[in-house]
């Protein structure tokens, strides 16, 4: 599943029905929660719709009862302000956290943009960062995903890197007073993407030199691009602010591919990570059975 498809599916899964209710919600009572996981795994809209219902709010309630304590929602900026606030209010009531949403107003991160150095893209980045501040207030977010866009083949790698650093510094200046953190995601979807490696992202974070610019270490993408996940985590640890999960091949839950997530999770936990682990992947099997299998997979991987 490519990231573009994942983002579109995430938005469609929850945007239309976020204000719905269910028997669970209507009872006014929360069931006794299952034991929370050792790490803080964040699910996305639609992942538990067969149990929780079409409403994202009801999915959140249901997942809370299974022990989950965070969500993430790539398409949060495309939701109405009312939807954003209802999600934020429910998370606050349950003591849950909001993970990442993507800073973008019209999917500019999928085209040649920040790498070009053109003022129009810097202006768009700054405008979207200002909008993201208001969205983050409503949904209680702290981490915001940024993808610098595609490679500009008219320019050298060094010039493109300088252009990206310049734009990100301007974005960080907007976010920093609000305690918000943009997390840069290196991707593997196609060869046109500028940001693809751990070392490259680490260097850019160092150059931006702001607490509001860190690395989003998506382990699915880094397994495809580099492998050697645990060693890479150690190399870039001090600039890593967020993790995302997905087994490879297939981009499904842990245990469906080649990655030893129990060892990876154990390593991250041992290093003292207190942030969010985003479940940016699909379900390997459909229906309620697939959702229960996904939870079982996380319980197994978290039993280190």
Tens digit of each residue's pLDDT, the chain (304 residues) = 554 454 444 444 444 444 443 434 434 444 456 899 999 999 999 999 999 999 999 999 999 999 999 999 999 999 999 999 999 999 999 999 999 999 999 899 999 999 999 999 999 999 999 999 999 999 999 999 999 999 999 999 999 999 999 999 999 999 999 999 999 999 999 999 999 999 999 999 999 999 999 999 999 999 999 999 999 999 999 999 999 999 999 999 999 999 999 999 999 999 999 999 999 999 999 999 999 999 999 999 999 9
- At 222 the pLDDT is 98
Q: How far apart are CA 165 and CA 152, in angstroms?
A: 15
- At 33 the pLDDT is 64
CA 268 centroid distance within chain: 17
- Cα 279 to Cα 129, 149, 153, 219: the distances in Å are 24, 23, 33, 10
- Cα 60 to Cα 25, 43, 72, 73, 253: the distances in Å are 10, 9, 11, 12, 18
- At 25 the pLDDT is 40
> How many Cα neighbours within 13 Å face the side chain of 166?
16
Q: How far apart are CA 126 and CA 158, in angstroms?
A: 22
Q: Is 12 helix (H, G, I), strand (E, B) or coil?
A: helix
Q: How far apart are CA 252 and CA 291, in angstroms?
A: 12
């Amino acid at each position: 599943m490519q990231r573009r498809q994942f983002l579109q599916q995430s938005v469609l899964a929850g945007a239309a029905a976020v204000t719905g209710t269910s028997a669970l919600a209507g009872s006014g009572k929360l069931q006794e929660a299952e034991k929370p996981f050792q790490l803080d795994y964040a699910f996305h809209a639609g992942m538990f719709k067969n149990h929780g219902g079409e409403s994202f709010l009801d999915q959140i309630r249901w997942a809370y009862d299974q022990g989950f304590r965070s969500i993430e929602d790539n398409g949060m900026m495309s939701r109405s302000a009312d939807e954003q606030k209802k999600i934020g209010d429910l998370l606050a009531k349950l003591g849950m956290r909001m993970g990442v949403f993507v800073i973008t107003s019209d999917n500019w991160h999928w085209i040649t943009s920040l790498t070009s150095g053109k003022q129009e893209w810097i202006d768009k980045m700054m405008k979207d960062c200002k909008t993201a501040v208001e969205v983050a207030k409503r949904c209680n977010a702290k981490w915001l995903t940024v993808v610098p866009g595609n490679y500009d083949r008219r320019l050298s790698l060094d010039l493109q890197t300088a252009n990206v650093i310049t734009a990100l510094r301007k974005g960080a200046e907007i976010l920093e007073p609000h305690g918000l953190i943009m997390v840069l995601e290196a991707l593997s979807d196609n060869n046109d993407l500028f940001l693809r490696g751990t070392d490259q992202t680490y260097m850019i974070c160092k150059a931006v030199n702001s607490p509001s610019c860190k690395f989003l270490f998506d382990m699915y993408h880094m397994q495809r691009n580099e492998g050697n996940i645990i060693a890479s985590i150690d190399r870039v640890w001090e600039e890593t602010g967020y993790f995302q999960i997905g087994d490879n091949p297939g981009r499904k839950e842990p245990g469906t591919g080649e990655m030893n997530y129990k060892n990876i999770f154990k390593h991250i936990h041992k290093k003292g990570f207190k942030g969010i682990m985003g479940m940016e992947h699909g379900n390997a099997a459909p229906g309620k059975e697939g959702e229960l299998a996904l939870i079982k997979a996380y319980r197994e991987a978290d039993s280190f």
